[in-house]
Copies of this chain bind each other. A is one copy, B any other.
Amino acid sequence: MPEDGGPVWKVGELARRTGLTVRTLHHYEQVGLLRPAARTAAGHRLYGAADVRRLYQVVALRELGLPLDVIGILLAGEADIAERLAEHLALVEQRLVRLRSLRSRLAALVATAESTGSTAPADLLGLIEEVVRMQDVINNYFSEEQLALLEERRRALGEDAIAAAEAEWPELIAKVQAEMDAGTDPADPRVRALAGRWMGLLEAFHGGDDGLRESLFTMYAENSEQINRDSGGPSPDMIAYISRANAAD
A157 within 8 A of B: no
| A63 near B135: Cβ-Cβ < 8 Å | yes
Q: Does A174 contact B (CB under 8 A)?
A: no
Interface check A204, CB cutoff 8 A: no
* Contact-residue size bin, chain A (C-beta under 8 Å from the other chain): 35 or more
Contacts of A238 in B (CB 8 A): none
A35 within 8 A of B: no
A166-197 interface code vs B (CB 8 A; 1 in, 0 out): 00000000000000000000000000000000
Known contacts A96-B100, A121-B77, A89 near B107 by CB under 8 Å: yes
**Among listed A9-17, A108-116, A222-230, A239-247, interface-contacting one:** A108-116
A248 within 8 A of B: no
Q: CA–CA, A59 to B119, complex, Å?
A: 21
Contact mask A83-106 → B, CB, 8 Å, 1/0?
A: 001101100110110011011011
Assess the B81–A124 pair: CB atoms within 8 A.
yes
Q: Assuming the A-B contacts A77-B121, A82-B113, A113-B82, are A60 and B93 also in contact, with contact meaning beta carbons closer than 8 angstroms in the complex?
A: no
With both chains docked as a complex, state the minimum distance between the C-beta of A123 and any C-beta of chain B, in angstroms: 10
Name the contact of A129 in the complex, choosing from B57, B92, B109, B135 (C-beta under 8 A): B57
| Chain A contact residues, majority secondary structure | helix
In the bound complex, how far is the Cα of B91 from the Cα of A110, in angstroms? 13
Query: Is A49 in contact with chain B by the CB < 8 A criterion?
Result: no
Contacts of A107 in B (CB 8 A): 89
A161 at the interface (CB under 8 A from B): no
Find out whether the CB atom of B92 lies under 8 angstroms from the CB atom of A106: yes
CB–CB A64/B128 < 8 A: yes
Roughly how many angstroms separate A81 CA and B56 CA in the complex, as a whole number?
A: 43
Among A65, A135, A155: residue with most chain B CB under 10 A = A65
Bound together, the chains give a CA A135 to CA B64 distance in angstroms of: 11
